[in-house]
């Protein structure tokens, strides 16, 4: 694996947050681009007795990911720290550490841990990330519940994450508020246009796929930057994990294994 991974740094240990902390974050007023406010207890609302706030459950999940081939120490350390159950509905919390995608409402899903680990590992192999030992300035398309954004926040210098479904955007902000993570900016918008105000990006990652990569993503990729996204392969009809590196000689495309992501949609909901 490339570079020496930095120890992921969530600003406070979620594990140590107790019920003495204030209740779960209340909704802040919506703006087009919202800085994540400080707040709250990520363990609030999780059924007690499931042992889900146990560090051990996540250590075992990560051991299984390693067994299946995940290698990036920084990514895996971040996944040990971050409580995935906090990002899904209480009724699904018991399944949060299985390697499965789960519904998050509005027909969308939280990606399964193995694909999240795989995509972040691929991002870390980009030239700029290798040189810096950090994902640098990141653009994420498809915030969903905010789980992957939170991991990115621990592994990058700055994260801009876009979601087109307003209730999910709001929910993700509420979830992320608990992390007191100042490196994540949530944007409500159509991610097919990227996010020009803060371009270029060292790393671009999409959690939704279409038949082509929007030109805006390629334009907003920094020299030495890397993009990882699912993309439909016309020949096979399969959705393939696609990597694009912006090198001096131009854009270099690599196609990897087949994956299953929700469709990249147009406009806003
Ligand atoms: N990374 C997310 C995965 C969410 S699933 C997580 O950790 O939960 C993919 C998300 O992409 C969905 O929430 C969907 O609404 C969103 N999406 C689809 N098309 C989009 C677009 N054009 N712009 C922004 N978000 C989009």
pTM, to two decimals: 0.86
In a domain, 264, yes or no: no
Tens digits of pLDDT across the chain (269 residues): 444 445 555 654 444 333 322 333 333 333 344 443 333 334 444 444 445 567 899 999 999 999 999 999 999 999 999 999 999 999 999 999 999 999 999 999 999 999 999 999 999 999 999 999 999 999 999 999 999 999 999 999 999 999 999 999 999 999 999 877 789 999 999 999 999 999 999 999 999 999 999 999 999 999 999 999 999 999 999 999 999 999 999 999 999 999 999 999 999 99
Ligand 1 pocket, mutate which of 139, 140, 163, 239 (most atoms under 8 A from CB): 163
In a domain, 9, yes or no: no
Per the structure, the count of domains in the chain is 1
Residue span of the structural domain in which 252 resides? 14-259
Question: How far is it, in rounded angstroms, from Cα 98 to Cα 68?
Answer: 13
In a domain, 231, yes or no: yes
Residue 82 has, within 13 A of its CA and on its CB side, a CA count of 32
State both tokens at 17.
């947050």
What's the 3-state SS for 159-182? EEEEECCHHHHHHHHHHHHCCCCC
In a domain, 249, yes or no: yes
How many angstroms is it from 205 CA to the middle of ligand 1? 11
In a domain, 220, yes or no: yes
How many angstroms is it from 262 CA to the middle of ligand 1? 8
In a domain, 8, yes or no: no
Answer for the pair 232, 222: CB distance below 8 angstroms, yes or no.
Answer: no
In a domain, 138, yes or no: yes
CATH code for the domain of 231: 3.40.50.150
How many angstroms is it from 144 CA to the middle of ligand 1? 5
Biggest CA pair distance of the chain:
56
pLDDT score, position 53: 60
Counting atoms of ligand 1 from 1, which one is nearest the CA of 269? 15
Question: How far is it, in rounded angstroms, from Cα 189 to Cα 58?
Answer: 32
In a domain, 6, yes or no: no
């Amino acid at each position: 694996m490339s570079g020496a991974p930095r120890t992921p740094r969530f600003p406070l240990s979620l594990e140590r947050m107790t019920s003495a902390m204030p209740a779960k974050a209340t909704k802040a007023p919506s703006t087009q681009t919202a800085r994540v406010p400080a707040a709250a207890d990520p363990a609030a609302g999780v059924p007690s007795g499931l042992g889900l706030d146990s560090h051990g459950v996540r250590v075992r999940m990560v051991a299984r990911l390693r067994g299946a081939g995940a290698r990036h120490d920084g990514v895996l350390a971040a996944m040990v720290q971050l409580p995935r159950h906090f990002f899904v509905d209480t009724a699904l919390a018991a399944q949060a550490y299985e390697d499965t995608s789960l519904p998050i409402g509005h027909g969308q899903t939280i990606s399964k841990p193995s694909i999240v680990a795989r995509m972040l590992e691929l991002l870390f192999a980009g030239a700029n990330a290798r040189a810096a030992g950090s994902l640098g300035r990141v653009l994420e398309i498809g915030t969903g519940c905010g789980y992957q954004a939170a991991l990115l926040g621990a592994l990058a210098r700055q994260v801009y994450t876009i979601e087109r479904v307003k209730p999910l955007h709001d929910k993700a902000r509420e979830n992320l508020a608990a992390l007191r993570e100042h490196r994540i900016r949530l944007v409500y918008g159509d991610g097919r246009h990227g996010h020009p105000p803060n371009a270029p990006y060292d790393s671009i990652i999409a959690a939704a796929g279409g038949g082509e990569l929007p030109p805006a993503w390629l334009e907003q990729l920094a020299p030495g930057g890397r993009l990882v996204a699912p993309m439909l392969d016309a020949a096979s009809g399969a959705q393939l994990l696609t990597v694009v590196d912006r090198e001096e000689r131009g854009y270099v495309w690599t196609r990897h294994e087949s994956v299953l992501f929700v469709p990249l949609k147009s406009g806003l909901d």
